[in-house]
Amino acid sequence: MKTTHFGFERIPASDKQRKVGGVFRSVAPRYDVMNDLMSFGIHRLWKFYALLLTNVRRGQRVLDVAAGTGDLALRLADRVGPGGEMVLCDINDAMLTQARDRMIDRGLAANVCYVLADAERLPFADDCFDRITIAFGLRNVTDQDAALAAMHRVLKPGGSLLVLEFSRPQAWLKPLYDLYSFRALPFMGRLVAGDADSYRYLAESIRMHPDKKTLLAMMTRAGFERCNYYSMSAGIVAVHRGYKV
């Protein structure tokens, strides 16, 4: 039986999608509040920097995979303008519902659509998006190589993929970072979202995610070229970018 990780736990690969879905269905209503609390608001700077690196222009068609509550997609939809299209894709209906409500509240419904789908099996034609982003979602995918290959397939030649994800902090920060992750995060999760276990999983999933150079190699293997990465906050987060030629 093929297995994979769910945090530090080893489980059948066929079970991961269901278990990850349960995590995000549980935290969806308080997800954005918790993001601000957990990162002390710094996640907004990470996303702003990632947004600049996308170089999205008006009129383009952009796909945000694992879009969650639409935090990054809000900014992207504004950039493509009414002549472009913003597609939010997520496997979790509760998160997409939160994203849709935010988009409507911001008056961005006209050029935005929502697709409930697995990142490993994107239901789009080949070569149909100018830009693809995935922010803090790749580590929750069961088969990351399959997801990267799927994103490469639906990206237009000349387009780029941008992956914003947690990574490995510098050695001097690691003890403090571990203490914060495994003690403070579950406590905040219980206090604010009523769910300590989900935030314990999120902390564990970060440790199981490939490091920067490994992810770079995975993107290259999926067919992306001119791949590079940018490290932020002493290595806690990294933005990887690759192009389809």
What would the pLDDT profile of 126-146 be if each residue is shown by its tens digit?
999 999 999 999 999 999 999
Q: Is the pLDDT of residue 1 over 80?
A: no
Q: What are phi and psi of 71, to 5 degrees?
A: -60, -50
- Yes or no: say if 133 and 160 are a contact pair by the CB < 8 Å rule: no
What 8-state DSSP symbol labels residue 92?
Answer: -
What mean pLDDT do residues 156-173 have? 97
Residue 83, class by beta-carbon neighbours within 10 Å (0-12 exposed, 13-18 middle, 19+ buried)? exposed
Domain coordinates in residue numbering, the chain: 18-243
Q: Is the pLDDT of residue 80 over 80?
A: yes
Percentage of the chain modeled with pLDDT above 70: 100
Q: What are phi and psi of 120, to 5 degrees?
A: -75, -20
- Yes or no: say if 24 and 90 are a contact pair by the CB < 8 Å rule: no
Beta-ladder partners of 112: 86
Q: Is the pLDDT of residue 107 over 90?
A: no
Tokens of 43: 């996640």
What mean pLDDT do residues 184-197 have? 92
Q: Is the pLDDT of residue 193 over 80?
A: yes
What CATH architecture is 18-243?
3-Layer(aba) Sandwich (3.40)
Write out pLDDT tens, residues 67-76. 999 999 999 9
Q: Is the pLDDT of residue 188 over 80?
A: yes
Residue 88 neighbours by CB distance under 10 Å = 28
pLDDT score recorded for residue 200:
95
Contacts of 62 (CB under 8 A, 6+ apart): 54, 56, 76, 77, 80, 84, 85, 86, 87, 129, 130, 131, 132, 133
What mean pLDDT do residues 54-58 have? 96
Q: Is the pLDDT of residue 7 over 80?
A: yes
Q: Is the pLDDT of residue 108 over 90?
A: no
Write out pLDDT tens, residues 13-51. 999 999 999 998 888 888 889 999 999 999 999 999 999
Mean pLDDT of the chain: 95
The span from the CA of 31 to the CA of 71, in Å, is 10
pLDDT score recorded for residue 30:
87
pLDDT category of residue 177 using cuts at 50, 70 and 90: very high
Residue 132 neighbours by CB distance under 10 Å = 27
Q: Which of 228, 179, 229 is nearest to 238 (CA)?
A: 229
Length in residues, the chain: 245
Strand-by-strand arrangement of the 112-116 sheet? 112-116, 85-90, 61-65, 129-135, 155-166, 237-243, 225-232
- AA letter at 210: P
Beta-ladder partners of 85: 61
